[in-house]
Each structure stands twice: as C-alpha cells, then as structure tokens.
Chain A
C-alpha cells in the first residue's frame, strides 16, 4: 500500500526574502521615527528639545522607580541617537545581523526601564517589537538589498 500523504510545499527563498525585507523595513522605520520624535516639541525639532524631552523622561523614570538618575539620564541621552542610527542602518541594510541584535538589546534595556515603573502597556508593545526582531534574526540569512552585507 502506497503512502497517500500529500507532499508539503516549502516556501521558496524568494518568499523568505520578501518576508525579511518587510520586517527589516518596518523595524528600521519604527526605530528611526521613534528616535526622530525625541527631538520634537510643539511641532519643532531641535537638539534643545531632545535634551529637554530626555531629561523629563529620565526624571520621570527615576521618580517612579529604584533606578538612579545618573543611569536613567545616561541611557535617555543616548537613546534617541541610537534609535536613529540603528533605524537608518536597518533601512539601508548596514551589517543587518549585528544591527538587529543591537536593536533587540536596546529594546530589552528600554523594557527594563518600563518594567521598573510598572508601565505594562509599554512593556507589552516592546515585547511585540522584540519578538519581531527575534523573527527577523531567524530570517536574516535571506537578507538582500543591503548596502553593507554581513
């Protein structure tokens, strides 16, 4: 008696490539625009606004948690630049594997701050991004259209 099981159809390399590029672009845009927004206040973008916004964020987190101000301020002052840099790198495809790892670690660090102030909604959103980054790392071998390949 012959085996009647239908053979499963594996996704083609092209489909994996498309899936990865969509993930890469989404995560890159999300990071880049999130970084950009940190320079905005009342519709204008400036470094002055950036340091005011980040100082406010650091004070807020420290005020509501056990984290010392020097730590939250150092992280907050670097956060916007890192998001812009990593976002641009993902969009352009610069060392994508390393960039994804760094972006994931940055989001975990951000989640740690939000966990410390029990901001569960924010943590849940970041968990979604972290999951997407994990998925992207599983597909990174299909990366194409990259400026500087791994």
Chain B
C-alpha cells in the first residue's frame, strides 16, 4: 500500500478553508453557469410583470447568457411574481416599483424589456434609451403616433437599439415564407388580395385578489383611474388603441411586411356592440388598399372578441397562382395552388414546399396493415355551379418553430445588442405599423375612407 501524503496542521487548515469557500460559493458558481456566465452575458431588466411580461420572461429564460438583474412593476403582486419566478431559475433580480429608481440604481444594465400598458411605452422606452440601455418594447409601439415617433427619435439620438415586439418577424416559418416563397419563388404569382383575422371568444374581465389591490393614490400617481381599468387597460381609450391595436397590430404588421408596402388608404367599421363596461370597440373590420410593386392589393382585416368562429387567427395572401395562409399556430398555416398554376413538384425538390403529411390536403390515413395508395392527380370534388373554379390543392411549408413564439424575436434582439446581426423589427418598422393600425380607429370614428401619404410612415 503506497504511503499516504503527509498533511501538516497548517496545510489541513488551508485546504479546509479552500474547500469551505468552494462549498459556500457553489450555488453562485452554478447560477452563473446556468445563466451562461462569461463576458457575453447580458444584464437585463423587465418593466411590467403582467400577462405579457410573464410570457416574455418565460421565453427569455430559455435563452442562454441572459441575466435578469431587476424587475419593475407598480403592482406588488406582479412584481413579486416576477421576482420569484426569476429566483427559481437562478436570477437574482432586484424588485422596483418606480422605473426611474430602477434605471438609476441598477449598474451594468445592458437592456430593458418593456411590457407595460401601451400608453406607458413611450415614457418607459425613452427613459431607458436615454439611460443608455437597449430596449425591447412590446407592441403596439405606442397608443399614439406622437408617442411612437418620440421613441424612434430617442433611439436615433442615443444610438441605442429599439426592437418592437412584432415577434412574427423573427418566426422562422414567417421568414421562410417572406424570403423564399414570396421573395425567391414568387409562388403565389401576382398577389391581388389579402386578409387577416383574429376571432376570439368572449372573455371575462380580469380581476384581482381583494387584498392585493393597488392603493388608489398609487394608481392615480401612475395614471390609472381605478383597479378595474388598471387590470383591463386594453379596453380603455386612455391606455390603449383597443382590439385593433391589441390583437390586430401583430397581423397588420405582417400585411405590411409580406406585401412589401404601406397602405395608401383605409376604411373601417366597428363598434362597442357587446360589452357594456368597456370603452373600445369589441369588433372592427378594416379594408386597406396597398400599392405594391406588382399592383394594387386590397386587404381586409377583421377582429372579433365575441366569437372564435371562422378559423381562429391567420393572415392570408392570395395570388393568381396560389394562396398562403399564415398563422403563429402551425395548424392554421397552409399553402394552396390554383389549378391553373404551373406544377409545384419542382419546389418540393428544392425543399420549398412539401406535400401535407396530415390535415388538409393529406392522403387519408393508411392503417399499418394497408398498402400505400398512389396519389391521384387532379381529383376534383363535386362542383355545384359552372362558375366554380377547380379546387385548390393544399401544400405545407417545411418549417415549424420549435420554441416559444416570442423566443426567436428576443434572441434576435439580444444578438443585435451583442453586434451579431440586425433587428428584425426596429423602431422604424414598429412606427409604420403603429400608423397603419391607429388610423383604423380614426376611420371607424369618421365612418369614411382615410388616405395615407408616404410621409405618414416616416418617423
């Protein structure tokens, strides 16, 4: 048996001290490793720990090298939720009620995520930018065009990055459809029409635990009339642009992006026809006219908050050779070929499209013991009118997002902060979308068609 190394009393104490220090430091070492560690780690703060803030937190927590160092919310209940959630994932985020205090007290802060009600976006974003932080701000950029314009101006003045939360622009399926299917393959032919919709069933107003209400003086200090409006700000005019902004903004942004143009005009109808305790319209239908590079495209957009019928939420682009139905939900996404269009089999070979394996357009499921049946070309279902054209064939897009839907957009923001790429939805894009969206409410109120000029979209 080899002799054991001799250990003096001094050596023993020194080794013991080192071991003890290592044991005490272990959780911190592990925490740093969990959050990525290293010089590439970004220190991030969240302003607004409500519904959307939590969605963004959960998405951001899946991204390596992000360390949340502060959370801010005027409601203690929300603030504690954010703080505790972050602690669970090893982030030691300091809680603040006032964003000004947070910005001045937090050293080494790289970026701020703003997920507050729309009417506070400009104030929070401008303050963070002026404090030298990069900002990811939820859509709609602001509930006023002036507010949105000030955000673009501040980003330019400070040289800091401003990403607006139109997260579809970072969704790989949307990018694939925009760049490859429409941009490279022009698979739809001449696009002549588009539509978008978000139909959602009736929802109850948000409540709050009776013993957790924000004191009235605090609510008033931060611009809220009462607790009901604080919780349901999306329905009230002083805080928000209503449903066209809350739900429509995401999809109207995609109309602008996919069509490669801003609209020339909009007419719209809508009203508060169902809910009696809200201010904003509960349904809006708009018709835009887009002057695109290949001709005029008319696009309808509908948002309903009293019915989920009509196929949920999607954006639909219709051309003379095909149509593209996009949605964040892959089950609503589909590509259709007009019978008169050139065969699309070549696009399969190039990996641009694929035959549906399941759902619409797919062959009936074959049982394990059955023989595979060949696909019969050009099979038509019954035609009830001579004016009907041949049925469109359904195809799939071979790209599916396998992450939380906000994660790629946050990743794009953090990559841009590190100098590794460009923002997919910078302030200028968010501004054009805000103009496109907010004009709908004006058109509803005016009950007539309103024109845009190109200058309207320039901040």
Give A contacts to B, CB under 8 Å: 37-38, 41-43, 53, 56-61, 63-64, 117, 119
Contacts and interface: CB of A to CB of B under 8 A. Distances in A.
Contact of A43 (B367, B368, B369, B374): B374
A119 B371 contact: no
A60 B369 contact: yes
Contacts of B388: none
B369 A56 contact: yes
6 contacts: A37-B371, A59-B369, A61-B368, A64-B367, A64-B368, A64-B369
Nearest to A64: B368
Contacts of B371: 37-38, 41, 53, 56-57
A57 B369 CA distance: 4
A59 B368 contact: yes
Residue among B368, B369, B370, B371 with most chain A CB within 10 A:
B369
Contacts of A57: 369-371
Contact of B367 (A37, A42, A58, A60): A60
A63 B370 CA distance: 13
A24 B218 CA distance: 91
B91 to A, nearest CB: 48
A59 B369 CA distance: 7
A132 to B, nearest CB: 23
A41 B372 CA distance: 8
Contacts of B367: 60, 64, 117, 119
A42 B373 CA distance: 8
A117 B374 contact: no
- Chain A interface SS verdict (over half): helix
Contacts of A42: 374
Contacts of A119: 367, 369
A61 B369 contact: yes
A37 B370 CA distance: 12
Contacts of A53: 371
A58 B371 CA distance: 11
Interface residues of B, number: 6
Contacts of A37: 371
A59 B367 CA distance: 11
A117 to B, nearest CB: 7
Nearest to A43: B374
Interface in B361-391: 367-371, 374
A25 B7 CA distance: 101
Contacts of B370: 57, 60
A119 B369 CA distance: 10
A105 B369 CA distance: 21
Residue among A37, A38, A43, A57 with most chain B CB within 10 A:
A57
Contacts of A41: 371
Contacts of B374: 42-43
A53 B366 CA distance: 13
Contacts of A117: 367, 369
A70 to B, nearest CB: 16
A63 B374 CA distance: 24
Contacts of B369: 56-61, 64, 117, 119
A68 B370 CA distance: 18
Nearest to B371: A53
Contacts of B368: 56, 59-61, 63-64
B366 to A, nearest CB: 9
A31 B369 CA distance: 19
Given A58-B369, A60-B370, 14 more contacts: A37-B371, A53-B371, A56-B368, A56-B371, A57-B369, A57-B370, A57-B371, A60-B367, A60-B368, A61-B368, A63-B368, A117-B367, A117-B369, A119-B367
A53 B367 CA distance: 13
A90 to B, nearest CB: 23
Interface in B335-375: 367-371, 374
A150 B193 CA distance: 73
A146 B449 CA distance: 84
